């Protein structure tokens, strides 16, 4: 018998996921990927239930931008069969607690290493696309600061370096400094960023913590483009940036915007790995 998979909400990434899972011989139902009704009671039939990235945009309701129906996460979770495997991404803590309280197996597929690494590529390409359209100068020869040397920061720094930018990367670990220098990039300790912020044409933040506060933003040139790709709460004091007249773009969920089909394939591969490991 085919296993029943329910895909809830999302965008073109989830539409791609639906198509790919059907090819893997799953019985796939999508809810919240159209403007039609959202039959909540069908959820109890799911063997596997997949939330989008992020599961919720407001912490309370399902992230389903295509649907006109607002559905509370609590209403969904209350209808999930206890034997169902739930796969989610950036699930609100209160929703995770509800799943745990009901004894439902929950796995965060967004925390998987293979997804994070592969998603870094469309994220970096999305950053490049924005920079090319928003900056009045070429990437070649520009002075670029990448804040954070995680998976995303590594790929972004490399892509801009290949296009001829003079790349500086901020980090905190000695090991990261060694890798940054080995790549031919400059390194600066994150705690000393204020000393160099005025030097850059483009600043890209990848750290989901307040790095660019009001005092730091005062050091940034007004013509500098600041791109924040970090998840909420982001790394920029956006209110202060607006007050100071800084050019800031908070570019959330870039893989879903710049390469949704590729991102959908990455999600599918990650989910198949999870299912193989859990023997579901």
What pLDDT digit, counting tens, does each position of 160-183 carry?
999 999 999 999 999 999 999 999
pLDDT of residue 92: 94
Q: How far is CA 31 from CA 38, 39, 76, 127, 167, in A?
A: 6, 8, 11, 31, 44
pLDDT at 260 exceeding the cut of 60? yes
Give the mean pLDDT of 101-112.
95
Q: Grade residue 252 by pLDDT with cuts at 50, 70 and 90.
A: confident
pLDDT of residue 214: 96
The CA angle 258-128-210, to the nearest 5 degrees, is 90
pLDDT of residue 69: 86
Residue 163 CA to residue 232 CA, distance in Å, equals: 29
DSSP 145: E
DSSP 54: S
DSSP 231: P
Q: Grade residue 253 by pLDDT with cuts at 50, 70 and 90.
A: confident
pLDDT of residue 200: 98
Closest Cα partner for 136 from 85, 79, 192, 202?
202
Residue 222 has a CB neighbour count (10 Å cut-off) of 8
What SS3 class is residue 28?
A: strand
| Sheet with 27-31, edge to edge strand ranges | 27-31, 4-8, 48-50, 85-88, 105-108
pLDDT of residue 279: 66
Give the mean pLDDT of 256-261.
90
| Sheet with 225-228, edge to edge strand ranges | 186-189, 166-171, 143-147, 202-205, 225-228, 247-250
Give the mean pLDDT of 77-94.
95
List pLDDT tens digits, range 24-79.
Answer: 999 999 999 888 888 899 999 999 999 999 999 899 999 999 888 899 999 999 99
The CA angle 77-82-88, to the nearest 5 degrees, is 50
Q: Decide: 20 and 264 in contact? Cβ < 8 Å.
A: yes
Give the mean pLDDT of 88-110.
95
pLDDT of residue 129: 96
Torsion of CA 6, 10, 15, 19, to 10 degrees: -30
Query: In sequence order, which ranges of 37-191 are alpha helices (DSSP H)?
Result: 73-77, 93-101, 113-134, 151-162, 174-182
Q: Grade residue 237 by pLDDT with cuts at 50, 70 and 90.
A: very high
Secondary structure percentages of the chain, helix, strand, coil, to 5: 45, 20, 40
Closest Cα partner for 123 from 251, 268, 11, 269?
251
- Mean pLDDT over the full length of the chain: 94
What SS3 class is residue 249?
A: strand
pLDDT of residue 1: 65
Give the mean pLDDT of 93-118.
95
pLDDT at 280 exceeding the cut of 60? no
pLDDT of residue 185: 96
Q: What percent of the chain has pLDDT over 90?
A: 88
């Amino acid at each position: 018998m085919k296993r029943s998979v329910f895909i809830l909400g999302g965008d073109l990434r989830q539409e791609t996921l639906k198509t790919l899972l059907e090819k893997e011989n799953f019985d796939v139902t999508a809810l919240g990927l159209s403007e039609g009704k959202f039959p909540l009671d069908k959820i109890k039939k799911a063997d596997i239930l997949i939330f989008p990235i992020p599961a919720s945009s407001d912490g309370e309701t399902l992230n389903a931008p295509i649907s006109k129906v607002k559905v509370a996460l609590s209403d969904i979770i209350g209808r999930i069969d206890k034997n169902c495997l739930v796969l989610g991404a950036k699930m609100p803590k209160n929703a995770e607690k509800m799943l745990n309280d009901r004894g439902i197996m929950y796995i965060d597929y967004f925390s998987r290493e293979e997804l994070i690494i592969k998603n870094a590529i469309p994220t970096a390409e999305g950053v490049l696309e924005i920079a090319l359209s928003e900056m009045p100068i070429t990437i070649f020869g520009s002075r670029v600061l990448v804040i954070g040397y995680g998976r995303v920061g590594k790929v972004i720094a490399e892509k801009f370096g290949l296009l001829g930018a003079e790349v500086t990367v901020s980090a905190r670990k000695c090991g990261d400094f060694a890798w940054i220098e080995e790549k031919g990039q400059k390194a600066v300790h994150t705690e000393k960023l204020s000393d160099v912020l005025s030097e850059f044409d483009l600043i890209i933040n990848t750290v989901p913590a307040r790095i660019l506060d009001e005092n730091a933003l005062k050091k940034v040139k007004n013509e500098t483009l600041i791109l924040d790709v970090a998840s909420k709460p982001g790394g920029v004091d956006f209110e202060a940036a607006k007050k100071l007249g800084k050019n800031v773009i908070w570019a959330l969920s870039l893989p879903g915007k710049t390469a949704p089909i590729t991102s959908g394939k990455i999600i599918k591969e990650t989910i198949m790995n999870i299912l193989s490991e859990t023997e579901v």
